[in-house]
Amino acid sequence: MESLKDKAAIVGVGYTPQGKVPGRSSLSFHLEAAKNAISDAGLKIQDVDGLLVQPAMGDPSVTAALVAQYLGVRVRFLSVLDAFGASAGCQAQFAAMAVAHGLANYVVCTYGENARSGVSEYGTALNGGLEYGLFGPAACYAIAARRAMHEFGTGPETWKEIAVAQRRWANLNPRAAMYTRPMTYQDYYDARILVEPFRLLDICQISDSGRAFIVTTAERARDLKKRPVYIMGMGQDHPATNPQQATFLTGPTGAKLSGEQALKMAGITLKAIDACEIYDCFTYTVEVELMDYGFYGRGEGKDFLKAGRLGPGGDFPLNTSGGLLSEAYQMGFTPLTEAIVQLRGEAGDRQLGVPTGTREPEIILVSNNGGVMQTHSTLILRK
């Protein structure tokens, strides 16, 4: 079987206004993001012949055909794809397969939601438990985090490092919700405890916004407007089990197997990774994913994760846009699009390399995680 390594590239990225953007449908965010990605790639509307859509949790009325209709495209590769927070990475993988086999030339992948100002489903139960007062994903992850405190002694003293480091990156990113708001360790400890053991600053923030990217073949990518970002490796692992029965709340999550597969395809080891864009719905999620990717052993996050090395100027740059915690919650699109912007050298004040005193980025690891660690996808991207 021929490997998909380096066969596909990401060639367009589309953002929209984000944060609190009232008065807009989630569909409108899909459309504006797609339009901007098409323009960013230097493509014409008529070039688009593939479309993969992740509908927002709160708005399943946004179908793939509806997005195609409003975009004015006639495609030969079309689907809704929903693996929760792992979707963006999965969309990239399905799109890569499609273009590698000639089923489409340019696949647009979109996301959009208006949950901050419009319809939000984030307070409801993901996997049952409403009758016991189990509302919202934060509480489900808090249960996982509490178990990890018991099993390997993690806790707020480790999670604060993640929160503070990512805020330092956000303070360099004008697009980030927390651009103008620094965070100290004391700010972290002073934050209100919502669902113990999580404080407000352990939890990502819902955003009205949309995001999109475009996948094409490596050959086509070289003729387009922007520097291509190649997909070196990819993997998925979806434990899927109901979280009450889950054996993976303290690892190994889907990061382990999907990461091993992606590294194997890319033909590299973790040493070759210059930066990580890790799905960070909650601080603890980052700790367990990096552990499962193999950056440190079980329970060693408390020694490895220090804001000084994770933030600007550090030797282990993490979530350089500010991530879901401090930039914007756009599911797996937040880490994925940031990796593209960094590898293109378009990240402005937060650009990896000389501007922030870090390694020049050649290869970035992107993780996507969904449900209560029930889905996972990994991408390894390179210049």
Partner 1 sequence: MMTSYTKPLPIINDDNRQYWEYCKQHELRMQQCNDCGYIRFPPGIICPRCHSMAAGWVKLSGRGKIYSFVVYRVSYHPSYADDIPYVVAVIQLAEGPRMESDVTGIKVEDLKVDMPVEVYFDDVTDEVSLPKFKAVS
Residue numbers at the binding site for partner 1 (CB under 8 A): 123, 128-136, 139-140, 142-144, 146-147, 150, 192-196, 241-245, 249
**Is 122 assigned a catalytic role?**
no
User: Is the Cβ of residue 204 or residue 276 nearer to partner 1 in the bound state?
Assistant: 204
Smallest gap from Cβ 178 to partner 1, in A, equals 21
- Do β-strands 50-54 and 78-80 pair in parallel, antiparallel, or remain unpaired? parallel
**Is 106 assigned a catalytic role?**
no
Smallest gap from Cβ 142 to partner 1, in A, equals 4
How far, in Å, CA of 336 to CA of 36, rounded?
16
**Radius of gyration from C-alpha coordinates of the chain:** 19
User: Is the Cβ of residue 69 or residue 242 nearer to partner 1 in the bound state?
Assistant: 242
Maximum pairwise Cα distance, the chain: 57
134 burial level (CB within 10 Å; 0-12, 13-18, 19+): middle
How far, in Å, CA of 75 to CA of 100, rounded?
16
Q: Exactly one of 15, 106, 284, 329 is catalytic; which is it?
A: 329
Crossing angle for the helix pair 26-41 and 64-71, to the nearest 10 degrees: 60
User: Is the Cβ of residue 87 or residue 374 nearer to partner 1 in the bound state?
Assistant: 374
Smallest gap from Cβ 148 to partner 1, in A, equals 9
Smallest gap from Cβ 25 to partner 1, in A, equals 25
How far, in Å, CA of 155 to CA of 142, rounded?
11
Please give the DSSP secondary-structure letter assigned to residue 192: P
Q: Exactly one of 15, 141, 188, 279 is catalytic; which is it?
A: 279
User: Is the Cβ of residue 220 or residue 238 nearer to partner 1 in the bound state?
Assistant: 238
Report, as residue numbers or ranges, the catalytic residues.
279, 329
